[in-house]
Structure 1
Amino acid sequence: MSKQVAMLEQHFNARLLNRTTRSLNVTDIGDAVYHQCKRVLEEVGHTENLVAGLQGEPRGLLRISCNMTFGQLVLAKALPEFMARYPEVRVEVTLDDRTPDMVREGHDLMIRVKGLQLPDSSLVARKLCDLPMFVCATPEYLASKGVPDCPQALRQHNCLIFVHAENAHQWLVSMPGQTPEPVEVSGDLRANNSLVVREAVLAHRGIANLASFVIAPLVASGEIVPVFPQARPECLAVYVFFPSRESTTLKISRFVEFFEAWLADNLPQTLTDANTGDS
């Protein structure tokens, strides 16, 4: 990297970075060169998209930002099929649970698990599917600590919290014939990754509220069971976000169409879906 920067500085006959033993800062000239080169690359991308649109085949680099666990367990399985269908598209994936600045970081689209009510945003959002959540535990934990006889009884249990969920500390369990009320929960583990929470559940540490795609294979094997099997699950949703409608190119639209159909066929909506072992 240092050699590449040095070659650029020699080419422009100007310092692009100020270097010390402890810091590295972009100079005003370096910042101007970066933004100009970025515009040139964007124009190259637009040209690729124009040619692709005229030929009817998407091509070029598709930059995707996605939630960490959803990307690992779901998106990772869908991508090989998409890339086999559209071999002229290259894919760059960033998995991150924070919300990035899409324009500044150069993402073409962002996939996020959100509540059904979206906050105001300048981004364009499209809902791809619902994502049911299930309060769950191991049979061993429930045998040891007892099965909650109502949602409010969760307050007496060790509830394991996935902190990035919008419903992290208030779980909504809709029992038949009852008005659902959020239950304030707490426990000895809070984690920013639902796989960490799932491992604690498997270690019989407590009860968690996790998405269907995270636990469905383990429910099928009997390692995890729903705590309230008759309850209607609380739902989040999978959304795709774009910086603007004008930025929606052929490669983006083809991926969104593909992924929406793939989710409909592969993402478990219940814990008894026949294909949960593949999701």
Structure 2
Amino acid sequence: MRDQRLKDIIPFVACVEAGSFTAAAERLHLTGSAISKSVSRLEARLGSRLLERTTRRLELTDAGQAYYQTCLRILEDLAEAESVLAAHRTIPSGRLRLAVPNTYGRLGVMPLLIPFCQQHPEIELSLTFSDRFVDLFEEGIDVAVRIGQTSELPASLGCRHIGREKMVFCASPDYLQREGTPQDEAQLLRHKAILYERVDGSSKPWIFTTADGYPEWRTVPWRMALGDVDAQVQAICAGLGVGQLPTWLVHTQLQRGELVAILPQHQPEGLALTLVWPRRKQLLPKVDALLAVLSQLDIAPS
């Protein structure tokens, strides 16, 4: 029974990818009748129709779509299991799926990925840029770079802490010349704030450090709240107000003099940067090689 299940899965996946019984039969070097019988046998065993047959093309039903995604994961797991045992197991190769935050992925991760791909030509890298929470198992992700809390991770996930953001108050030289440079926290809080707006519509508070060295979050009046960090940087560089941003985001602007650090002696820590991956994939050479490279990420450049 188990052997037959696997035999029926492969023709079903081929039908979905090829779009017809005939094309799937050509791909698998079988007859169209054999493919049709295999899919019908699979549907009978599951008690659910997986494909809608039309004169032009096969279409997945809702049940078929869910089953197709499951079949893909099964076949990928088999391929990865074989790759571990293959003779060339020390050579990173195959499809590798990585999920990264939008802006940090572009500024912090991509500079490491380019030489990584050049060094490992047998790796096919699929890169997802998203600030939403990514379910590694549901979406078939091999490694995720996360900025934020990763407490209470399931035992099935591995985690590596890279570091924490350094936050810096900054403004454009024109703004400071026009409005004056704050010399302490009291003066800073009287300036026009450019804040980040969360998905729920609330504005992200500023972080300060208490005399005891603990972080303290303060809600401040703002002139502008933006739901995109790149837009936030643009507004601050344009002289519209003061912002508190991670150093990885404005490192270049500070070096070029487009932004000036305010109270540079006060740079509290922000969110944590971590790598997360399914533990069962850690022994794969491609995943191990990627984790080694991503461990070089810098979340708090000076």
Kindly state the Cα deviation for residue 210 of structure 1 after the two structures are TM-superposed: 1.3
Partner in structure 2 of residue 92 of structure 1: 126
Kindly state the Cα deviation for residue 137 of structure 1 after the two structures are TM-superposed: 0.8
Q: Would the aligned equivalents of 1:136 and 1:227 in 2 still touch at CA under 8 Å? A: yes
Q: Would the aligned equivalents of 1:64 and 1:93 in 2 still touch at CA under 8 Å? A: yes
In our comparison, the structure showing a higher alpha carbon Rg is 2
Identify which of 153, 177, 184 aligns with 1:143. 177
Kindly state the Cα deviation for residue 146 of structure 1 after the two structures are TM-superposed: 2.7
Q: How many residues align?
A: 258
Is 1:233 matched with 2:273? no
Is 1:246 matched with 2:296? no
Partner in structure 1 of residue 152 of structure 2: 120
State the distance in 2 between where 1:214 and 1:247 align. 31
Runs of 5+ consecutive residues of structure 2 not aligned to the other structure: 1-14, 25-31, 41-48
Identity among equivalent pairs (%): 21
Q: Would the aligned equivalents of 2:167 and 2:267 in 1 still touch at CA under 8 Å? A: no
Partner in structure 2 of residue 275 of structure 1: none
Kindly state the Cα deviation for residue 169 of structure 1 after the two structures are TM-superposed: 2.5
Partner in structure 1 of residue 247 of structure 2: 212
Runs of 5+ consecutive residues of structure 1 not aligned to the other structure: 271-279
Which deviations, in whole Å up to 9, do the C-alpha atoms of 1:223-268 show, x marking residues without a partner? 101111121332333211113x22212211211112223x25xx65
Partner in structure 1 of residue 46 of structure 2: none
- SS across alignment from 1:173: strand
Instruction: Provide TM-score, normalisation by structure 1.
Output: 0.79
Which deviations, in whole Å up to 9, do the C-alpha atoms of 1:62-99 show, x marking residues without a partner? 10001000111121111111112222211110000000
Partner in structure 1 of residue 292 of structure 2: 257
Q: Would the aligned equivalents of 1:147 and 1:227 in 2 still touch at CA under 8 Å? A: yes
1:197–1:150 CA distance, 2 compared to 1 (3 A): same
State the distance in 2 between where 1:77 and 1:18 align. 47
Instruction: Provide TM-score, normalisation by structure 2.
Output: 0.73
Is 1:184 matched with 2:216? no
Is 1:58 matched with 2:58? no
Is 1:101 matched with 2:135? yes
Identify which of 262, 269, 278 aligns with 2:301. 269
Q: CA-atom RMSD, angstroms?
A: 3.2
